[in-house]
Structure 1
Amino acid sequence: MQLSPVQTLPPRLLTRGADVLPGVLITAAIALVATGIGAIVPVLGSAVPAIVIGVLLSLVRPRLMAGHEKADARIQPGIAYSGKFLLQLAVVLLGVQLSIGAIAQVGLESLPIMLTTLVVCLVGAWLLGRMLRTERRLTTLIGVGTGICGASAIAAVSPVIGAASAEIAYAVSTIFLFNILAVVLFPLIGHALNLDPHTFGLFAGTAVNDTSSVVAAAGVFSTLALGYAVVVKLVRTLMIIPISIGLSVMEARRSARADSAAQPLTGRRIAKLVPWFLIGFLIVAIVNSTGIIPDAPREVLVQASVFLIAMALAGIGLSTDIPALRRAGWRPLALGGMLWVLVTVTALLTIAGTAALRG
C-alpha cells in the first residue's frame, strides 16, 4: 500500500532540511559578517558585502575544497537554496511595508517609465545585435533579460524561442555582470543626483535587471526605496507574459512548420509565467492593508527580509561562474553593456520628463 503525499510530507521536509542545512549555515554566516560591515559602513548596507564576499569565496573555493569533494557537494544544495528560495521569501516579506493603495499608485506611476525603457531596450537589442552580429536567439535573451527582469525573463523566454543551453548560459552570465555593476553604481548615481527614496525606487525598479539586484541596489540606497523598487519590479516582471506571447507568434511565423525546439504557449504555461513569490508579495501587502499587523512584528519581518536578502546574495555570489563570463566573449558583453547604459539613461530621462510634466 502506497503512502499518500500528505503522509510522506513530514519526512520529505526533514530530508530536504538536512540537505540544505550545511550550505544555508554558510550563507547565514556570510550574512552575519555582511550585516556587521553594513552597521559599520551604513552606505554599503548588508547586500553589497554579502555578494562581494560570496564572489571572492567562489574564486578560492576550488582550492579550499580540493580533496574535499564530498563536503563541497554537501554545501551546494544549501547555497542554491539560499540564492533562489530565500530571496523569493525575502521579497514576499517585503510586502509588509506596503498597502494595496501604494501598489496601485506606484504601479501606475511607473508604467510610462517601464514601457518606455522596455521598448527602447528591445528596439536597441535588435539594432545593436545586428551591428555586433550576435546570434539572434542570444540577442533576444540579452534583450529581454535587460528590459524585463534578468535571469527570470531569460528562463521564461528561452523555451519559447528554442534557445540552446550555451546561449542561455551566455545570456545569464552577461546579465549578471551588469547586475553587479548596478548594485554598486546605481546608489552612487542616486545620491549624486539627489534622488529621494521614491524616485530612486522608480529608477532601480525600471533600470536594474534581476530581482536580487533591484532589491540590493534599493536596499543600499535606503530602506524606504525598497518598497517602491519591488512594486516597479512587480509590474516589469508581469511583462514576461505579453513578450513571451509575442515571441511565440514571431517564432511560429518564422517557420511554416512547428519548431521542435520551441514550446507553444498554452493557457497553463502562461499562468506559470507569473512567479509565485510576486503573488505572495501581493497577498502580504493585502493583509498589511487591513492594519492587522502590529508595528513591532512588522519591523521584525522587515529586518528578517533584509537578512534573508543578504543570505540570498551570499548564495548567488558563491555560485558565480567566473570562467563562464570569459567564455561568453566580448560581443554579448558589449551588447549587454550598451543595452544597460541605454536603459539607465532612458529611465533617468523619462523619470525627469514625467516629473517635469507633473510639475
Structure 2
Amino acid sequence: MRRLIVSEFMTLDGVMEAPGFEEHRTGRNAWALRMQNEETQRFKEEELYAAGAILLGRTTYQIFALFWPEAGDNDFTRTMNAVPKYVVSNTLKDADWSNTTILRGELRAEVTKLKEQSGGDILVYGSADLVAGLIEHDLVDEYRFLVFPVILGSGKRLFRDDSNLKPMHLVGTRSFSSGVVLLTYEPGEELPSSPYVDEFRWTQEQIRSLHAAQDTDRVLATILFTDIVGSTERAAALGDRAWRQLLDHHDQVARAEVGRWHGEFVKTTGDGILATFDAPTRALRCAFGLREALADLGLEIRAAIHTGEIEMRDADIGGIGIHIASRALEEAKDHSVVVTSTVRDLATGTDLSFSPLGSVGLRGVPGQWELFEASIAGG
C-alpha cells in the first residue's frame, strides 16, 4: 500500500496559499520564497526524488502546469515534469502537463485505488479543498508542515473552521537555519488521556453556573439515569436490526413507566434514559418499576438517582446535578439502583431502604460522595 503524504508550506497562523504566484501580485504571498534557503530547498528535492507520484487539486494543478514546464532546466524541474501526476477534478477538460491523469470519480474510491497500486509515496502539494476531502475520508498517512516564522493574519487555511476533531501523533521535528521548522505528524487514533481533563470540565461547569441565571431557568429536580447491562454484547449477538427493535421496545416501556410516576422523559442515551421527577421517591419507584418491566423483555438495567438543581435548556437539561447523576451511574453494579446521600436523606421514613456503599470519588466531580444502594424494604 502506497503512503499518501500531505506536504505544505504554512505560516504560524495556518495560512497556506500559493507562495508568491498569481493570488497576490503585490508579492504578499512571497513569504515562502523569501525565506527559502539551501537547507529547505534540499529537503524539498529529497522529498520529491523519493516520491512515486504527485496528487493535486484543480487550482494547484493549473498553477503548477503553467509554471513548471517553463521553469529553468535542472534536476528538480525535470523531475516535476516527469513524475506521474494525478489531478482530482470534475470540471477540468484536459491536462496538457506531461504524465498527468485526471481523476473524475468518487474521491475515496479513486485515491484508494491509487494507493493500492505499486510505487513510491504519493505527495500532495497545496490543494486545500482536496486535502480537506482526504482528511475527511481518513486517506492521509503523513503530514509534513514547513512552518515559516511569519504571520499573515488572513488567507486560505489548510484546516477549516468546520473541520472535525482529528488527533495527530508527532513523529518528527527539524529546524532550519532560516527559522523554518518542519513538523511531521501521523494521524492518531485518539487523544491522550490527562488527569486535568475532568478538572477542566468541572471548571467549565462552574463558570457556566455563575452565569446560568442570565439565560437559563434553574429548578430543583430529581434526576434518573439508567442503562442496559451488557448492551454491547447483546447488540453483537442480536445484530443491528433485532437490537434496534429491542431498543424501541425498551424506550416505549421506559416512557410509559416515567409517565406512570409523573416524571419528565428527557431523552434516550443510546442504551438508557434520562428523566426527571419532582420527588426522589417517585424517581426511585420508577427505577424499580422499570427494572421489573424490562426484565420481561430479557433486559437487565442499572440506575442512578441524584437530587439537585438543573438548568432548563429548551428540550434538554444541564448543570452540575446532571453531571453528578451520570457519574454515579458509573458506580452502579448490575441490576442495582444507586443514589446519593441527598436522595437517601429526602426519602428516609418511607418503605425504602438504603445500604451504604461507602464514600467514593466521582469522575470529574470534586470531593468524596456517599453512595447508597436503594431497595424496597422487605422486597
Normalising by structure 2, what TM-score?
0.20
Bigger relative CO (Cα 8 Å, ≥ 6 apart): 1
- Larger helix percent: 1
Normalising by structure 1, what TM-score?
0.20
